Amino acid sequence: MVRAMSDVLDDLVDVLPTRIWYLTSNGQDMWCRRPYGFLFSTGQLAESFAKAMGTGEDLFAVGLDAGALISDEMLDGLRNSAVTRIFIDPQIDPTSGDVHGKILRLAPVQ
């Protein structure tokens, strides 16, 4: 049985802290590396990740209510940005530079 994306996100919201953080350069749009998006349990983790990634961009953390993840606006934004995987509290392997951690795979809308 295939689960709807909203059901998957409801499950995700249940395991996240009340407030979730993402990286942005403009205060609104989530910074991502398509097809990957990144969410963090604290602003400090988000900003440390940005520094370690060395993007060259002025990224900062913005927090929102975890329940806002399942809004139509947020889901449409992820779809329009071609984000199909979201890392939760990702880490960077110091040896390889690879990003690893918990990941939520979002199925494309059919």
> pLDDT tens for residues 19-70?
999 999 999 889 999 999 999 999 999 999 999 988 788 999 999 998 877 6
Looking at residue 81, what is its pLDDT? 87
Of 37, 40, 59, 62, give the one whose Cα is nearest residue 50.
59
Q: Is the pTM of this model over 0.85?
A: no
Q: What are phi and psi of 36, to 5 degrees?
A: -100, 140
d(CA 4, CA 35): 19
Both tokens assigned to 78: 């992820």
Q: Which domains does the chain have, with CATH numbers?
A: 5-105 (3.40.1350)
Give the contacts of 86 (CB within 8 A, at least 6 positions apart): 36, 37, 38, 39, 78, 103, 104, 106
Helical segments of the chain, H only: 5-15, 43-53, 72-80
